[in-house]
Amino acid sequence: MSTALPDSVTAAEGEGGLPVLRVATALATGEVYLHGAHVTAWTPAGADPVLWVSNASRFVPGEAIRGGVPICFPWFGAGREPGLAPPPHGFARLAPWRLVAAEEDDGGAVTLTLELTDADVADVPAAQAWPHAFTATYTVTFGRELTLALTVENTGEGEISYEEALHTYLAVADARTTTVQGLDGATYLDKAPGGAPDHVTQRGDVAFTAETDRVYGSTGTVVVVDESAGRRIGIDKDGSANTVVWNPWVDKAAAMPDYGDDEWPSMVCVETANALDAAISLAPGARHTMTARYAVTR
């Protein structure tokens, strides 16, 4: 790795032998795998871990890490067009990203900048379904808050359209006593089994009582209220038209080979996204940034 690292950042061999960057400052600790530019940990000083990773996750090339913050790009789920999936959620979380900068500011916050281009994924089979020229830049800032910003630039000669999500897995004491505030009145597409075929309007806070898989039309801040742990996780965002809320519950958890059967109460996903009808279109030379900021309070 040729990029100079501040003393607060260490390059190491992580799970499965995959390269990982570990951050340790007075403000927080955290880590990012170059595989998928995957943030797998953020713990503010004096707090419990905020991100969740499955004990059954597979840390191997060609497979996504289960937990943390996978990057969904350039499609979400199966994608809007035939022939994109498998794999679900695109190729970015399967690809090797490059570290291009690492800095610590005067206040002790550490920012890592990673990059992925179409040339980097030329040998990734999933990328053949979306053969467009692009540069994706991902900045991850570890401090008292965690800030994630994904910028995509169209470096080709024609317009491109893509979906994206920061598929954040949050650690909670018990999903059954956890709620999500800030989505009252928003409409959502219910993708869980038995969900309504048309958009539904949220009434009150979101509670978890069964498999939950919802794509909300929402640009505002949400708060995850982890009642059993006595903490709140605020998620503020820019450049995002959707908030996705997900928990697999019992049956889906048991069906996923990289997810422990009994792990579903310990996490909820609240994702910052532009998906489905909110996909991003970029003219040649244009760029778009989607940002998510996470903060913990009691």
Question: Which residues carry out catalysis?
Answer: 167, 271
Contact present, 147 and 238 (Cβ < 8 Å)? no
CB atoms within 10 A of CB 186: 20
| CB-facing half-sphere around the CA of 43: CA atoms within 13 A | 13
Contact present, 172 and 178 (Cβ < 8 Å)? yes
For the chain, the residue count is 298
> Which burial class, exposed, middle or buried, applies to 204 when counting CB atoms under 10 A from its CB (0-12, 13-18, 19+)?
exposed
DSSP string spanning 116-174? EEGGGGTT-GGGGGS---EEEEEEEEESSSEEEEEEEEE-SSS-EEE-EEE-PEEE-S-
CA distance linking residue 275 with residue 164, whole number of Å: 6
**Per-residue DSSP letter, 37:** T
